[in-house]
Every structure is written in structure tokens, then in C-alpha cells.
Structure 1
């Protein structure tokens, strides 16, 4: 039954404990409105599943305990009754704040896919100490709510709560308050102590003690309800609104009763009162759910199942004993029924006499009195117990046998209820139930119960009960006739015990006669003794050499393993030569002085009482039989000691017989062995010969299979070098069939030049000691000749075998034509690769995972002035030096992790010169994705660096030299264009404007070149400061507004309130360049957008236009110098090709990145990032 409950509890799924109608509100609702909705009946909230309210459990129609805040199908937070109490205690204005301001965040939820069973939900509630748990799907959508009420409702079928008491789980101490406390003070106490209720108590003096009587309770839900009703919590006292009267439970009540009471009264908590009526504690839904710890439940269920199995076995045994005594009881019942008939006849006689007329009553009064005396004398004379009870159970008649048995007189029990005096308290309820059943059925019945006698002893009485009714058929009296069966039961138990002892001795004797296996006999004895005596452990110990002994058999109580005690060493035991001292008994090892030799060993196994019996084989001590009780001291009985002595004697005889049998078997075996040796030798020779012949046949078959399927040529020749064996592999290699070469000289398969030279190694091998050897070495191959006359290289080995007809030589030959051809191709390729790499002016190497060189070209060796042979196997750090290695180490580690890297480094050559090197590492990755090593390519870019510096210096000098005359030219042209020096003809004026525009373009070009040169050379210092990004964008827009107005282009700003850490002037220059490009390449009346967005650690800025766009092939090159999408119209529009290059350098100096995106036909967008001020 318990296993069924546990399995059913495991089978609970999430749908059975899920409330799909929680209260769901929007985040902008006032708190006051949410509290009013929480006061409504649950089931009217957001329907997450289709459930009819009429079919819902009555407990499900309670008020909401919380509200879930949801927006756009996303769960934002939760608002519980405890939050209401907290706000009320703080006297917050609930109409002025929204639910989003006071909801609990972050919210603890559980995904449906993570819910394996109800224990997962219980563990989450217990871990976070919460009472409501939202369940969501994989996308975060709300599925429903799990509360303590929904779990408790689902646990109704699992009435194993009957096994636990309220006192085991009740919470204490309990928050309490006086009836005069205001609700506002109660709310503050709930908030401070984090409790869900406060018990209202009243002090009462009871004798010398003062107790707190619980008179009511105020909960969080009450505070919510009263707040909804608009009551003044500061002025409302607890005594006017508390829940009263209380339903109290006792600590000794079962949790099942408390669970049912919660369901019937639609409450989530019950107050616990002690025997005096005082406050003892409180039991809540949390208390009930704390029991459902899966590990604790499984442990308790296993223990209960073990107890149940043991009790079932005992009941089965008791039933057998009851069946054995049933016949005796039937005889006793026949006697009791006869007595009952006598009593009934007497009472019927009395009733008939009462029906006569009054005159006859006077005449027969004396006779009636005599008859009554006779009946009383009969009742007092019979040996049976006779008790007459009225309809309320009070004693009317109590005969002499009852007085002798109980020690009470009839006067002491007259008109007192029988069970209040004679029935032991544990049996009173059962006896009352039997009494009521007798009155209802009104038929004779039989029952047994104990009497608690006046002297304190207990007597077992077997009753036969009948009733007497009045004229209306109602029960007037109940007559019980009983027999004291206490001694009878004791005799039955003694007989049963003696029978078991006889059975045990008989079983051991039978085992001795049947098996004579000493191990089986001792195992049976140990097991049966432990079961019969109901003890904890039985050990059989055998004496060893010296004073060392060993446990050879053990039987232990269920729950322990006997194997752990087997073969345990026991020190200090001495054989007892005196048989009179072969028994030692100790009822309490801790309190008494023990004479047991094995007491130390037994105490190691937890023994508190023990018996030690010596086992003798003949007259010699063999070992000890020990019986121990571990859970308590025990008064050993004489029959138990006698039984153990008999068992020890039987075991001694069994051991003696087994030893005698072993000696006889040894003598017979020795004689039989002498007779069988000759026959065995003959049979062995025959078997060896048969096995040898069989092995030879198997070996020949395996050899034939190998020869037929081998790809190599396998050829055997005799001492005259004639072919005697020739496999299929040889046929494929040489082209000859077996019939063509059989018994032919081996020379048919050899070239002419090799026919003589092969004889010498064969002849030298004939006299050698080794059974096989290689014919050729690495510098020279064996040559073979095919049927076509073609000569081919081969690898061959030769072995020899001495037979009756002479030596047989076997050659295994492999055609290596393709292998030699591939090796030649590989060597040629390696030589070409070496020539190519040596001719390149680049340092080339290959490094393995241990950072050791496996390949270097000649340029590498010349650079470091180390020979190629010395470079092989050296570590990179030893060759390139510590300074260079410290720069290269992180890039080497990146390459070994699978990344391709390039870097520049300034190094000092072995001759002391300073050079700049550009190095690229390319990892080698195998098919499994593992990095085997990397290739290194190093270029000396010192000359290129010098050329770039000279170019930059030249550009700077030329730019400054051009700026001065160009400024004069531009000024002169401006003066002429202003016509202050005179009016010029229209053609001249037109040429003048062209010259002016070209000088302006040239000026811009020179300025851009100089700006770019200064930025790249690092001569420009960035004045970093905190700036609002919107202000910088507005300044750039204002500067470019006139240019945009000229083409009717609208500049649209998408402001974002962010702050950046930048050089304001240079960032404005970036915006100006990007806006200038966007306006130039956008059609008239278009729109240019400027915007920004905040990311994790940076600010993303973009400028978007509606121009022709940028081809995908130029998206990566337009930020280089003098790169333009279309140089023809770019020059017409006044572009220099340096604006985006300047923007790139400025953004990179700020630690950002810049890139372009241009979907076909949809304009282009330039993005760049700036550091956030944080």
C-alpha cells in the first residue's frame, strides 16, 4: 500500500497542481484596484486553460493570494498578500502608486520542461522560501501558477499523512497579540517578523500557571480584505474582526486529520492547542509540504515496508497457532452457550412469573425470591465469568468468579461503566465499539480482550455475549460470559516454542543425515536460532592456532549484511577443557561483569546481552556458538540456554561426522589414485596424439586459407630450389599459374642478373640459427621477373623448416613497384619545394605544438646565421631571442589555438642592426579539427617603412610649400572675381570662376593631405573630453545646412541622449566629412539621416543617404587614400578621395571602428563606434 502511495505521488504531473486561472493584471493599474481584484473569488482571473467554474474544486474558489503582472504576454513580476501587508504597515497611499512600482522583482519562475515531478516544484518552493511559483513555457509565456493550496489539493489521494502527527511539523513559537491590538500594528508585526498570520490570545490563570488561550486569528488575507472594505486599520481592533471561534487541533492528531480540516474549513492554517487549551503552535500548508522530501519519504516507506513484512510474518505464525487452538475454544464456547441458555431460561421464567396477576404475585413472592437466590447462587457457583450490563454499559451483575479474577467486588463496580475500571486504555474504544455492535445486531457474539486487574496484572478473557430485550424489542441488558484464557495462551505459546525447538533440532538432524555439508548445517543452525530466539546476531566461531579464532558462519537481523562478519578474526579466545564451564550468559554487558571470552568482539558489533556456548567435537573443544541482542539488555530464559546447548551438541556431532567422512574419502581417494595413474597415463597419451593430429589439421587448414587470400607472393622451394608451393598472390604478381611453375627451378621467377647473386644469401641462411630473415635491405631491393619478362622491385623475407625429406625454404615477397614510384615522386617534390623556399627572400618555417622547428628554408638559416641541421628541433624562443619572442609569444599561442595572425615587430639582427619584420602565422589543422602546428612567413619591411616615412615627409614639405603660393593665387583670383580692379568680359569672367574653383579644390586637397599626414604620424594630440553627442551632431548639421539647402536635401537628426568621451573638433570633422559625402552623392530633394544608439560599452553612430550606393567590391577599400566609387563625377563634385581616410584615422584614434553598408539600389550607410563615457 505504501509503495502504491509513493508511486502515485511520483506520477503527479504539472497539470494536476497547476492553477490555470491566476489573477493577471497590467503594470499600470493602481495598487488599490489590484487589491480589490485579489479580494474577488479565484477562477475569475485570466483563463489560461478552459475550465468550467462549476466543476472546480470548492477550495479553488477562494480569494486570490497573489496577482501576476503581465505585459505583451511577458511576465514582469508578482504581487502577494505579504506585499499588501508590507504596504499597509508602511501606511503607503495605495491609490497613488501603480502595481509596477511595488511588485516583486526579479521574479522566480520555473519552465515547464524543467518540471520532472512534483518534487521539483516542492524543492523550488523550499529553496526560495516562497508560496507561489509561476510556470512558463520555453519562450517565457505564462502557463499558470503553482501554489501551496493547489499542491495540497492534488495530494488528497495520498493519505499516508495518517502516519505523521501534528506535533512533528507544527511551527513554534507562534506570533501572538492581544485582542486590543489594532490591525495596523498587526500588519507591522507581520512585516517585521515575515509571518503570514498572528494568533489572538487571552491570558488565563489556571492554578499556579498562566496560559495563553487562543481566541482568534488574523491573517494576511484578512488584512487585504479589510483594506478593500475601506476600514481604518489604525482604529480597527483585532477583537472586532478576528476569525473566531477557532478550530483547534492537538499535537497528537494526525496530519491527515489536519489536512481534512483545512479542506472542510477552506483555510490554510490551523492553531495547535495543548492539553490545557494553551497555544502550542501552528500548522500550515508549508508544514504539510515540508514532509514531501523525496529522500526522507522513500526512507520512511522502506522502513515501514520492512516493519509491515515482519508483522505480516508474525501474524501468519499467530494465525497458525490460533487455528491449532480453535478446537479447544470451540469446546469452551459450547460450555459457555450452555450456561447462557441456563441464564436465558431463568430470565424467561422470571418474565412469565411477572405476567401473573397481583394476587398470584403475592403468593409467589417467596418462591420468586428463592428462585432469584438460586440463580444468584448458580451464577456465583459456575466457574465462568458472568457480567450483566445495562444498555449504557454500567455493571448490574458481577459474579463471584469475576470478583476472584479481577480483585474487585461487585459493590465496587455496581453502576459503573465496565471499561472505565477493567479495560486497559488502549482497548477501551474497541470494547465500546463491540458493545454498540452487540446492541445493534442483538445476536450472540464472541470476543477477546484484556482485563486490568486491581493488582495491576492483565488477564485475557474470552467472551460470549448475548442480549435481553424488553417488550418493545429494545436491548435491556447485555450478558457476557467469559473464560480466563491467560494461562491457556501461555501454555499454547510454550507448546509452540517447544514445537519450534523440536522442529529446529529435527531439521539440523535431517541436514546432518542428508548432506553432511558442514557449511550448510552451520548456516541452517545460525539462521534458525536467530529467528527462533528473535535475537539480533548469531556467530559461530572456530578456534585457530594460538589464541586466534575466526567467524565461519553468521546470521544477522534484516538490514545488516552477514558477509561483513564472515572470516573476521577474533583474538583472545581459549579452548575450554572443562565442559562444566562451557556456558556463559550475560544479560547486560555494560552493567554486569561478563565471563564471556568473546565479549570484546561482540561489543564491537553492538551487543548488549549475549550467550556463549562451547562446541565440542568428541572431547576436544572446537569453537563457540554466540547469540547476542544489540538494541537492549535481555533476560535470557532457561529454555533458550537449554536449546542452545542441545544445538551445540548436535553441531559437534555433525562436525565429527563430517571430519570422519573427510578422512575416509581421503583414504579411498589415495588408493583409487594409485590404481588410476597407469590408466590415466595411457589415456593421456591417446588424447595427446589425437589433439596433435587435430591441431595439425587445423593448422594446415588455416595455412591454406592464409596462403590463398594473402596479397603477397608466398613461395616454398626445396633444398634444390625447386618450387613446391605457389599461392594465388604469387600468380597475380608473376603471372604464372601453379601448374606452370610447380617443380620448376626458382630461377624462372628471377632476372638473369639476379639468379646467381641470390644463391649466396640462401646458402648462408641454411647454416644460420635464426628461423627467418629479410633478404634485402633499405639500399637494395630484391628483383623479380614476371611472365612478360618485366623486372620489378620487391621486398622479401625467407624462413626455413626442417622436414623428413629435407629443408624447405619459404619466401614471402611483396611487389613494391608503386611504393618505390611514389617515394621517388615524393622525394622529387620535396626537393623542388626546398629549392623554391630557399630561393624566396622570405623567412619560412614550420613549428609543431611544442614550439620546435621542424622545417626552415635557407633564408631563415642565413638570417639567424645558424645551419639548417642545427635549427631542426630547436625551440622558437632559443632561436629568435628573448626580446623578439616576448612580442611573438601571444601570436604563437593564437596560431596554436587555430587562428591565422599577422603582426609587425622591431627586432635587432644578430649583426646588431635594427630591422622591422612583418610575420604571418598560418595554423595546420587536421581532419579532426586538431592543430598540429603552424607555418611562419616573415618579411623584412624595413625598407618599405623607410620609404613610407620619406613619402610622408615629402608630402608634408610639398604641402607646406604649395600652400603659400596657392594662398596668394587664390587671394588674387578672389580679388579679380570681385571686380574691384575693373570689369572683365564674360569669357574672362567664366575662365576666372573655373580657376577659382580649381584653386579651392586644390586647397582642400592640400589641407586633407596635411591633416591625414599629421594624424597618421601621431603629431595630432586628441583633447579628450565628455561631450553630449547630440550637440556635436547639431554643430556639424549647422555647418553643412547651406550645402544641403542648395540641393533641397533634408537633414534628419534621430537624437539619442548619450554622452561620449571624444575630441570634439575631430568628431565634428568626421560628421562634416560624412555629411558632405552624403549630400554630394544624393539626388535633389532627398533625405540624409544622422542617428546614434547605445550599445553595451560603446555608442553606434550612422549617416544614411539615398544616393546610388557603393558596390560590394569597394566596401572595404573606400576608406583607403584616394579611393573613390566613381572618379569621374567625384572630381566634378569636388571630392579629393581623402575624406573617408581621415574619418577612419580619427575614429581609430578614438578606439572605434568604421565600416559601410550598401544594399543594392537603397543608398548607403556609414557606421562608426565611439567610446561610451562610462
Structure 2
């Protein structure tokens, strides 16, 4: 056994690089990427005669795909991303990988791949499990993962000294065997875990516990997607890995390492004496065991420094002191600049959120952003129909004003709008050194733009517009500047939504007031018409009464059924009835029976508007 295990790990670290990772282009669909991952996985499962190292590398290759454009790494899609997309039930056979890949990608140069602990810390710091390895020209040459790093831990005696209970994860995500695979995928996505333990109740009523009966992982979900299983209808009990491999909390991590290698698994369940679920150990747990080895690494570095200090102590101290002074000065300046920006950001946020006028918000934003960043131009574009833009606010040092101009970017499409709506920020240090279409570059040249940061502005779920920060010369935009604009866009989204709702409320109030005024006007007109009509009816009624009462002729009125509805006093006197007695009688009751056919025929003709005329009829008085 090597007397310096740490040095051995350093020397063999290059062996952890997985050669020929799966590479796809931006237009590859997610389903095609899953098929590629599944194909490598199938190769690993079908050929068990391979060496453990080759097996580990195949396992690592099947866990992700790297998206490359013009030999540069632009994105990555891992098993965890596939689980997330499965939980969201996206149509993976139509979904371009460019829309869902993780970007930007954390990479590591091959020349920097010299220290195990630095590599492990990089994975843990960014909470990732894959790091593409690139050469000095940023071209992809390999991949380092938890799985590939695991092989370096074999000769390290520390695994024999550490116990499972020291590194196991006690908080385990569990589900029942009757859970659907869609529910499992959503659980993994929400809790950001790589596996779910399938459990059933155990123990007694006084001391209940969960007993592990199966395991489902991100890799299983990838396989299910490759097989195009129906996740909502597939139950966990039908596809879970069972039986599970268990160990006790007092076992050493060396035992865990051996179990993982022998059984070709990446997770081991920790169970108690009665089979109760206590936790889980993963490859990440094994890597965490190496954090204490940094002390050995530090001691080795210090030993070398002591040797050098013996010969060059004074010179190195002077150089170090000067370097520290420079770093302190730079750091102090950076802190002061950041503090000033934070102060201005707080003031700007207060001004934005305090206003309910959209134009005031926009004008304040462009003016203050140009002051804080010291750039040539800041303007805000608002989207209209067909993704045309109009400049609604601007602050610039140039004589060219774009306010009110319509910016018709023919290269802007619905797909780009969706990417911006998801929060993408476009950073361009130099339009002539950045990949873009010729039409877009020509448009930027006309707008006096050489460098820019384009930040989406949303109102609710809708892409409202773009915050455009530009320079007439190339500019190396700093991460703090990009983060400042990202934070500002969040504040603007709140303010725009607040102002928009306020404006909508004001418009509703105005419309309601106008409606009330119109209703009052109509009521006034209606009342005037009613009064006029009432007067007209009263006059007509008066004339009618005068005619009825003053007429010397007998007048009888019937409805269309022939029943009397009114009679004047002359008719009542003529027939020998009181007026109220006549009302309700049928006209046939007032005539002799032999005249009724002629009278009925004439009445029906009159009702049907066939003709009107004069009839000579006999009436029966009350006495017959």
C-alpha cells in the first residue's frame, strides 16, 4: 500500500476523466438525448465482462449529455433534468434540448485537474454532479462525475475508519408502492433528490416504522422515458428495484464502497436490526468523507512553503505584503463600488415601487441605470403585435434619440420570446466577437450598439418588454453588473404589475363613471318620454271619456273574443241594463238567436281584418 495515499490520488486524478461523453447539438430533442443515455446504459448492463473502471465510466457517460455548439460546451442535460421534465409532463419528443438544458455550464480545464479535493469542493459548492473537462481552447475532452471520482477513493484508508452513521442521510424521501411514477417524478423534482425509497409500514402500534422494499432513481426515470412508459398509470411496485441492498449504521464506508462496486449500484439503504429504514448512503456521501483530507493537503503545501521560506523568506514576505496591500486595495474598492451600487439600487427600488405611473417608473429606471453603470445608452423596449418593439423610455449621451422609434427585429421569434420569458439575460461584450445572425448585427450597428446587456421585463406571466443597456465600444461586462440588472428586473416586474393593475382599476372606475353618467342621461330621457307619453295618454283618455259619455248613440266595446269590456250610458238605457251589468257579457246574449250566424260571421271578418261595414241588427232589451 502507498505510504502517501493523498499523493497517489493526485497522481491518478486524470484517470477519473470520462472519455467520449455523450455529445448532442442544440436542435436535438430531449427524447433523442434520453435515447442516447439509455443506449450507453444498455451497453453497460449487457456487457458485465468489462473492468470495474470501464463500467464506472460507462455509468458516468449514461448519466448526462453535453450540448456542444462549434466545439464549445453551451449546456448540459442530466438525469435530474429528465426527472424534472417528466414531472412537468412535457412532450419530450418535440422539445428541443436548447430550451431546457442547464446553462451556463461549470467547466474545468484539464490543466487544472490536479487536486481531488478541489474537484470535490467544486461539485459540492455548485451542487452539481457533472463537470465537463475542456482543453486550453475550451474544447470538450471529457467529463468528471461523482461516479468517476469514486474509483480514486479505493486505496484511501480513511474509508476504513469512517462509519456509515457519520455520513448517511437520515432524511429520506419515501413513497408507497401504489404511488404513480408521475408522483415519484414530481417528488424528486420538488425535493431535488436523486432517489425515492419505496416503503411499507412495519413494527407495532406502539413502535411503528417504515421498511424499505424498493428503490427508484433518476436513472430509472430516464429508462422509463426511453421506453415511453405512461408515467401517470405506471405504479412504483411494478418498476421499482427490489430487493434493496441494506447495511447497518456501524459498517465502514469501505464496506459500502465494495457493495456498490459488486452490485453495480450507486445507493445503499441503511437499516436497523428490525429492518427499519434509518437512512441512505450515496456516492455523494462517500465523497463528503474526504473533506478532512484537506488537512493533509494543507500540511503538504505548508511543508513546501516552509522549505522555500528558509531560503527566500524576506523576499517572499515583501512580495506577499505588497500583494496583500494590492488585493486589499482592490477588494476595498470593489466593496465600496458594490456598496454604492447597493445604495443606489435600494434608492432606485424605492422610487420605482413608490410610483403607480408606468412612464414615471420607466423614465426613472433608464436614468438611474445609466448613472450607476456609466454606459452610453439605456432604453426600454415594449412589445407590440408580432413582437415588434417600440422604445418607450431612454437615457443616452448620444445625439441619436430612439424614443418613440419602432424597432422591428425580424430575427426575433416566438421561441426567443419564450426563452426571454423564462428569465434569460443576453450579455454581448462585442457584437463582432459574438455569434449572432447578420440581420441582428446590422440592426445593432444602426442603433449605435457595439456591446449590450438585454434583460427581459415581465408583467405577470407575460413578456412585457426588454431593458437594453448598450455601449458604442466593446465592454467587458462584469458579473456584478449583470446581477444588478437581474435584481432590477425583478423590482421592475413587481412595479409594472402594480402600476398596470392600478391603471386597469382607474380605467374601470372611469368606464363605470361614464356608464353611470350615460345611465343617468338615459333615465332622464326616459322620464321625459314617459311624462310626455303619460300626458298624451291622459289627453287621449279624456277625449275618449268625453266621446263615450257625451255621445247620443249607444256605444258597446268588446274584446277579440266577443265579451263586452265597456258600454256608455246611452247603450245601458237603450238595453235596460246597468252599465256594470253589461261588462263581461258576450255580445251574442244581446241579439235574437236567428240573427247570430250573420252577426258571428261579420264579427269574425272584422277580427280577421277582412272588411268592416254597417249591419242592421235587432237587439234584445233586458225584458226580452
Using structure 2 for the length normalisation, give the TM-score.
0.48
Structure richer in strand, relative to its length: 1
> For the pair shown, which has the larger CA radius of gyration, 1 or 2?
1
Using structure 1 for the length normalisation, give the TM-score.
0.26
Q: Per chain length, whose mean CA-contact separation is higher, i.e. which structure has more relative contact order (CA < 8 Å, sep 6+)? A: 2
